[in-house]
Amino acid sequence: MNLNRRQFALALATTAATPLAAQELKFDVNVYRDGSKAIPVSLSGFTGEVATALRFDLEVAGCAVVSAEQAQVLIHGTNGARLEGFVSDRAKNYLLSKAYTGANQRQLAHAFADDVILALTQTPGIARTRVAFKVKAANNTGEIYVADYDGHGAAPITADRAIIAAPSWGPGSEWLAYTSYKLNNADVFSHNLVTGERHIVARYGGSNMSPAVAPGGRLVAMVLSKGGKPDLYVADIHGRGLKQLTHAREGVASPCWSPDGQTICYVSSDDGPAQLYRIGANGGTPQRIRTTGVFNATEPDWSPDGKWIAFTTQRGGFEVCIVPAAGGDVQSLVSGQDAAWAPNSRTLMFCKRGVGGPLSLSLLDVSTKRVKDVPLNLGNCSQPTWAR
C-alpha cells in the first residue's frame, strides 16, 4: 500500500493561542512535576469522536479524567468544523485558550491534546505520532502495518504473504526497514511509504535480520549470519560499506541505537544468559550493560532522551523493564514484552498476551504505571516501533 504525503502531515490552522502564564494558578504543577502522580482533569463540552480521542490521549499522557469536583484542571470547549479548547484551574485562571481548524475531528482533538500536555507538563505530547508493527497470520506469515499511535487508521504497507519481522522507522516517518521472506530468504528491505518503492539492503547467504535505522537515517545496524553465526553489522541505507562490528561466540540479536547515533545496544549470550551489550558505531570492544537484579535481558530499545534502555526479561512470565543507559538497578514495569519508546521518552508501547489469546498492543505511561490497550481488531500484533 502506498501512503501519500498528506497522510503523514496534519495541516492544522491554529488561532487565538493565549497562554495566560502571568496569572497565579491554583494548580501547582510542581506536585506533578516528576510524573509519578496522574494529573486529575475534567472534560466537558466536547462530543463524539473528539471527546473519545481527547480522553484517550490525556489518559495515555499521565492525566486521570475525573469529575469537575475532583479535578485540579478543568478542560472544556466545543467542536465542529472548528475546535475551541480551554484549560484552567479551579479558580478559572486560564493556562490555555486555543482554536483549531483545517483537519478532521480526530486530528483536531489530537492537536489540542498535545497542547494541553505541553501546557501542563512542559513536555511535547505524542497524540499525533505514528507507529509500525507486525500483524501475524494463522499460517505464520504476516504483514507490516502502520497506524496512528492509538491504533486509528491501521493499514498494511506490505502484501508479501510471507514471514516478516522487525520494522524500524527511518527519520521523517517516510520509510521503514524490515526483514521479509518475500524472496524465500530472510532479507532486509527498505520501504518508502510515500512512493511504495522497496530496495534490498542485505541479501547474503544465511539470515539477514533485525534492521535498526540510526538517528539521521544514514546507517542501518543488522544481524547477519553470512559468516556462519549471527553477528552485528552496519551499512548505509543502500547496503553499501558493510562493516562487521562483533565476533560473538554465540551470536547476537536485537540491535538498537543511542539517540546520538554513536553507540549500538544489542543482545549477546556469550557470557551465559542473554545480556545487553553496547559497542561503538565504528566498532571497538563490546561492553556489558549491567542489569542488576535481572539475569536475562532481550529486546532492548533506547529512550530518545538517552537516559533509559527498555528491555524484556522472563521470570515465570515476560516482563517489561527499564535500566539506566549506563547500567544499574532494573525497574520492572509491567507484564509484557518487546517495548518501544515514544518520542517523549515517557510512554512505552508493548505487547501482551491475554489468557489463550493472541499478542496485542498496549501503552504504558512509565511514570504513573497506567496502562491503556490499543483498540485494534487485527489479530496477533507485535514488534511495535515508534515513528521519529
- Quick one: pLDDT band at residue 171, thresholds 50, 70, 90? confident
Q: Are residues 106 and 176 in the same domain?
A: no
Tally of structural domains, the chain = 2
Please tell me the distance from the alpha carbon of residue 237 to that of residue 241, in angstroms, as a whole number: 10
Stated pTM of the model? 0.91
Residue 175 phi, psi dihedral angles, 5° rounding:
-150, 160
Q: Are residues 225 and 361 in the same domain?
A: yes
Which range of residues forms the domain containing residue 110?
Answer: 5-121
> Mean pLDDT throughout 292-301?
95
Tens digit of pLDDT for each residue in 9-44? 333 545 444 433 434 445 665 566 566 789 999 999
Please tell me the distance from the alpha carbon of residue 360 to that of residue 381, in angstroms, as a whole number: 5
Q: List C-alpha distances in Å: 159 to 37, 137, 168, 182, 246.
A: 44, 12, 17, 9, 34
Tens digit of pLDDT for each residue in 87-108? 999 888 899 999 999 999 999 9
Last residue of a domain, one of 100, 121, 142: 121
Q: Are residues 247 and 379 in the same domain?
A: yes
CATH of the domain at 370: 2.120.10.30
